[in-house]
A and B are shown apart, each in its own frame.
Chain A
Amino acid sequence: MSKPKFAMYWAASCGGCEIAVLNIHEKILDVDANFEVVFWPVAMDAKYKDVEAMEDGSILLTLWNGGIRNDENEHIAKLLRKKSQILVAFGSCANEGCIPGLANFSPASEIMTTAFNTISTDNPKGILPQPHYKMPEGEIHIPTILPMLRTLDQVVDVDYFMPGCPPESHQIAAVIDLVIQALQGKAQLPPKGAVIGAGASTVCDECERKRNVKTIKEFGRIQLQHADPELCLLEQGIPCNGPATRSGCNSRCPSAGAQCIGCYGPAEGVSDYGARLVAAFGSVIDSNDPAEIDRILDGLVDPAGQFYRFNLAGSMLKASIPAIRANGG
């Protein structure tokens, strides 16, 4: 009997998801033993037309990382959706846009003009890359950048969502174990649409720092103090995103003295990450005076980034109004 087929693809991402998969070490041999890897550009053959030639639904499991930034990403997303029985949005970019999704604060045209007019760029004629360009020898082309970065489920139907930037290797190993057991009839897969490879509570629930339910008079910056290594960072005024962020990472950053920046996305049941975080921050502010509250909130120097750092593209907002307009919305 032939083994079930496995694929992994990266779109607009950094490669960290691939490294996280390789960091499961010997578990990678289980993947090899139980699956036939048919498409995985980091590891092997990357021809699109081989995928096109496959029967629809012939790949059992596809892990997709990366957002949809250009027309090539979109094309491959649709292709792999058609060929896959189970499509997993793998990692923060595919789930919610991640850091590259912050690009949605501006129209794509501004991204281009900024990148090609920096202080070190020698570009007196204001040249911008063109998707189709006629050289003396013939026309050559590159993909077209789309007006907004989109998440995978904004482009195609997604079966499961696995958060994290990148997903923790122990979570990846557990998910792979589960799929293999399901193949052997020893376990059941979760219902379609489920979040897998993560916890159901918040980063705070996994955090070992002490909380005294203390309130604050100002927000501070992590570099402008020596934070107490034992106490809750938020209660020290450091804007830590733990209260709104899904558990599953073992509270990795707060354990290392750094604030949670929210890479595991919204906690279970949170429909708007930013709104939940605003509520959590509001609950630690020690004031009822509107003017004082305003002053305290001014200590958050980048509210838009603070509340939507990893999930702007996947949030209800999705993008700034100029970017949405440029997208024809």
Chain B
Amino acid sequence: MQRITIDPITRLEGHGKIEIFLNEEGDVANTYFQIPELRGFERFCVGRPIEEMALLTNRICGVCPEAHHMAAAKAADAVYKVEVPRTGKMLRELLYSAFYATDHTTHFYALAGPDFVMGPDAPVAERNILGVIHKVGLEIGGQVIQMRKYGHTVVEIIGGRKVHPCTSIPGGLTKGITKEQRDEILEMGKWAIGFAQFSLKLFNDIVLGNKTYVDLILGDIYTHKTYYMGMVDENNKTNFYDGKVRVVGPDGKELVKYAPHEYTENVAEHVEPWTYLKFPYMKKVGWKGFVDGADSGIYCATPLSRLNAADGLATPLAQEEYDKFYKTLGGKPVHQRLATHWARLIELLYAAERWVELASDPEITSPNYHAIPTGKPTEGVGIVEAPRGTLTHHYWTDERGVVTKANLIVGTTNNYAPISMSIGKAAKSLIKKGTVVNEGLLNMVEMAFRAYDPCFGCATHSLPGQMPLEVTIRKADGEALDVLKQYID
């Protein structure tokens, strides 16, 4: 049996690895996408005070610490059964909206943008953020940097720090904002709306105006019919910070809508002995292996999933884009994974509009941002939508509020099974009868999982927008037949 190893895929924590096995005919027999690291947060959160969860679990991910900060803080609220005052909730969501806008901007321009703006077939040297800036203009490059700076400024004003915010505590926050700070945040938010609209126009002009790209998006190679997960408010509109988790099937019909504390009845995690990461699935549908369709419990939790799982977006400009998205792509749900990039930009606009909405609320500067918990701490679940998927934190405590047990289902983990399937499908589409499409394989495998913006890949492209990949094709005896390289000198 022949074997193809893609190692390492640079990622956030160490290196992902893809093993592709070919059968006697030279077709793909199986693929394994392995995650090589485990740090053990669920063990060492035990014994720590519940209020520290929002500080310790930040350190799971320095790219999206805001998501862990919020999920842990909400779980801690639930542990004490304390209702956060309206201003406290708004401040947290305002921080979170600015973070979302920043994170989605980074992904689109630095990570995914090069594929579309430059084109999947553009010379390697141009397929990076610098190439994007050259093509769309230096001024726009400056705006991307500006957007990131503004987002980080809001996170710092409300969260106390640019990386690993520290202000959310059970019952609310340690501080509020002044009217001057509100004015600054509001101005930056208004600018962000314009930036988001501009980004959508760019996508419209460059991608949707190009038949090759549209065909690529709509093509079968990046299509999987799975369940879709996303948090919604009481009107079934997407909300990143609060609400219920709604899951729709491959047919777009609601499977379930559950409150955070009901997650264990709905989500379970499958274990494989060859990787340190688990594979979540819809418990009531069941784990049927790495297959899609309504009978398989595999689900996706991405910007595309959130749009599919919701009935719309709660802000006017983003709703217009939402309608256009489904009209253009032929109705709900959309299964084509590359459409996730478009969905992400629509969410960017929603986040910016929500940022302005919250900053405009007269109560945002109220000193009533914290309610002292009076209940006995016991157990609580907190869920937010991380940019890379639904994020669940669950803690049990003793009567002093010291954690006795913890369970975390982290954003990217939700998508481990679908990413694995997408990699497998790309490999199967590209490797036939032992023939490998050289450049294509590497580009297309890379694009298959970049759509998910997985955390183990998200930071990979930050600066030059390149993903180093090397594929070694070996005969059964281990002798190397061919080595394919991308971005590697």
Which residues of chain B have C-beta atoms less than 8 A from A142's C-beta? 17, 34-36, 274-276
Q: Which chain B residue shows the least CB distance to A37?
A: B463
CB-based contact A127/B463 at 8 Å = no
Which residues of chain A have C-beta atoms less than 8 A from B36's C-beta? 70, 72, 142-143
CB-based contact B487/A45 at 8 Å = yes
Which residues of chain A have C-beta atoms less than 8 A from B1's C-beta? 137-138
Q: Say which residue of A23, A166, A221, A253 sits within 8 Å of B49 (CB atoms).
A: A221
Which residues of chain A have C-beta atoms less than 8 A from B145's C-beta? 25
Which residues of chain B have C-beta atoms less than 8 A from A123's C-beta? 271
CA distance A197 to B15 in the complex (A): 29
Which residues of chain A have C-beta atoms less than 8 A from B167's C-beta? 256-258
Q: Which of B409-460 contact A (CB under 8 A)?
A: 409, 459-460
**Complex interface bits, B144-174 against A, C-beta within 8 A gives 1, otherwise 0:** 0100010010000001111110110111011
Q: Say which residue of A18, A22, A106 sits within 8 Å of B43 (CB atoms).
A: A106
Q: Which of A73, A140, A304 has the most CB of B within 10 A?
A: A140
B21 beta carbon closer than 8 Å to chain A: yes
CB-based contact B462/A43 at 8 Å = yes
CA distance A121 to B281 in the complex (A): 10
Q: Which of B59, B373, B464 has the most CB of A within 10 A?
A: B59
B212 beta carbon closer than 8 Å to chain A: no
A252 beta carbon closer than 8 Å to chain B: yes
Which residues of chain B have C-beta atoms less than 8 A from A263's C-beta? 164
Q: Say which residue of A12, A45, A256 sits within 8 Å of B39 (CB atoms).
A: A12
A60 beta carbon closer than 8 Å to chain B: no
Q: Say which residue of B40, B58, B60, B372 sits within 8 Å of A226 (CB atoms).
A: B372
Q: Which chain B residue shows the least CB distance to A252?
A: B161
Query: Min CB distance, B153 to chain A, in Å?
Result: 11
CB-based contact A110/B161 at 8 Å = no
Query: Min CB distance, A201 to chain B, in Å?
Result: 20
A261 beta carbon closer than 8 Å to chain B: yes
CA distance A62 to B388 in the complex (A): 30
A/B pair count, beta carbons within 8 Å? 272
Q: Which chain A residue shows the least CB distance to B23?
A: A137
B237 beta carbon closer than 8 Å to chain A: no
If A45-B468, A122-B287, A135-B274 touch, whether A20 touches B3 (CB-CB below 8 Å) is no
CB-based contact A14/B60 at 8 Å = yes
B362 beta carbon closer than 8 Å to chain A: no
Which residues of chain B have C-beta atoms less than 8 A from A224's C-beta? 372-373
CB-based contact A122/B62 at 8 Å = no
If A15-B63, A252-B160 touch, whether A135 touches B10 (CB-CB below 8 Å) is no
A98 beta carbon closer than 8 Å to chain B: yes
B489 beta carbon closer than 8 Å to chain A: yes
A246 beta carbon closer than 8 Å to chain B: no
B44 beta carbon closer than 8 Å to chain A: yes
A193 beta carbon closer than 8 Å to chain B: no
CA distance A140 to B33 in the complex (A): 10
How many residues does chain A have at the interface if contact means C-beta atoms less than 8 Å apart? Answer: 86
CB-based contact A42/B463 at 8 Å = yes
Q: Which chain A residue shows the least CB distance to B372?
A: A224
B204 beta carbon closer than 8 Å to chain A: no
B52 beta carbon closer than 8 Å to chain A: yes
CB-based contact A13/B13 at 8 Å = yes
A130 beta carbon closer than 8 Å to chain B: yes
**Complex interface bits, A100-113 against B, C-beta within 8 A gives 1, otherwise 0:** 10110110101110
CB-based contact A302/B47 at 8 Å = yes
CB-based contact A105/B38 at 8 Å = no
Q: Which of B14-58 contact A (CB under 8 A)?
A: 14-15, 17, 19, 21, 29-30, 32, 34-40, 42-44, 47-49, 51-52, 55-56, 58
**Complex interface bits, B235-270 against A, C-beta within 8 A gives 1, otherwise 0:** 000000000000000000000000000011001111
Query: Min CB distance, B379 to chain A, in Å?
Result: 11
CA distance A133 to B370 in the complex (A): 51
Query: Min CB distance, A165 to chain B, in Å?
Result: 7
How many residues does chain B have at the interface if contact means C-beta atoms less than 8 Å apart? Answer: 94
Q: Say which residue of A25, A28, A46, A115 sits within 8 Å of B468 (CB atoms).
A: A46
CB-based contact B56/A118 at 8 Å = no
If A46-B468, A111-B43, A301-B401 touch, whether A119 touches B407 (CB-CB below 8 Å) is yes
Which residues of chain B have C-beta atoms less than 8 A from A328's C-beta? none
B211 beta carbon closer than 8 Å to chain A: no
Which residues of chain B have C-beta atoms less than 8 A from A16's C-beta? 59, 61-63, 65, 163-164
Q: Which chain A residue shows the least CB distance to B456?
A: A15
Which residues of chain B have C-beta atoms less than 8 A from A72's C-beta? 14-15, 36
A169 beta carbon closer than 8 Å to chain B: yes
CA distance A301 to B404 in the complex (A): 12
Q: Which chain B residue shows the least CB distance to A299?
A: B400
Which residues of chain B have C-beta atoms less than 8 A from A252's C-beta? 160-161, 166
B466 beta carbon closer than 8 Å to chain A: yes
A120 beta carbon closer than 8 Å to chain B: yes
B273 beta carbon closer than 8 Å to chain A: yes
A4 beta carbon closer than 8 Å to chain B: no
Query: Min CB distance, A260 to chain B, in Å?
Result: 9
If A16-B65, A122-B271 touch, whether A145 touches B38 (CB-CB below 8 Å) is yes
25 A-B contacts (beta carbon < 8 Å): A10-B13, A14-B63, A15-B12, A19-B63, A22-B463, A23-B152, A41-B10, A45-B489, A46-B8, A47-B468, A50-B488, A102-B48, A103-B44, A106-B44, A118-B407, A129-B38, A129-B272, A135-B30, A138-B21, A142-B35, A145-B38, A223-B169, A253-B166, A257-B173, A302-B48
| Residues of B participating in the A interface, judged by any CB pair closer than 8 Å | 1, 3, 8, 10, 12-15, 17, 19, 21, 29-30, 32, 34-40, 42-44, 47-49, 51-52, 55-56, 58-63, 65, 76, 80, 145, 149, 152, 159-164, 166-167, 169-171, 173-175, 263-264, 267-276, 278, 280, 283, 287, 370, 372-373, 394, 400-402, 405, 407, 409, 459-460, 462-464, 466, 468, 470, 487-489
| Residues of A participating in the B interface, judged by any CB pair closer than 8 Å | 10-20, 22-23, 25, 28, 40-48, 50, 69-70, 72-73, 98-100, 102-103, 105-106, 108, 110-112, 114-116, 118-123, 127-130, 133, 135-138, 140, 142-143, 145, 165-166, 169, 221-227, 229, 252-253, 255-258, 261, 263, 301-302, 304-305, 309
The 5 A-B residue pairs whose C-beta atoms are closest, nearest first, are A16-B62, A256-B160, A257-B174, A111-B40, A43-B463
Given A16-B63, A72-B15, A102-B44, 15 more pairs with CB closer than 8 A: A14-B58, A15-B62, A16-B59, A43-B463, A45-B487, A50-B488, A103-B43, A105-B47, A112-B38, A116-B278, A121-B278, A129-B38, A137-B29, A169-B162, A258-B55
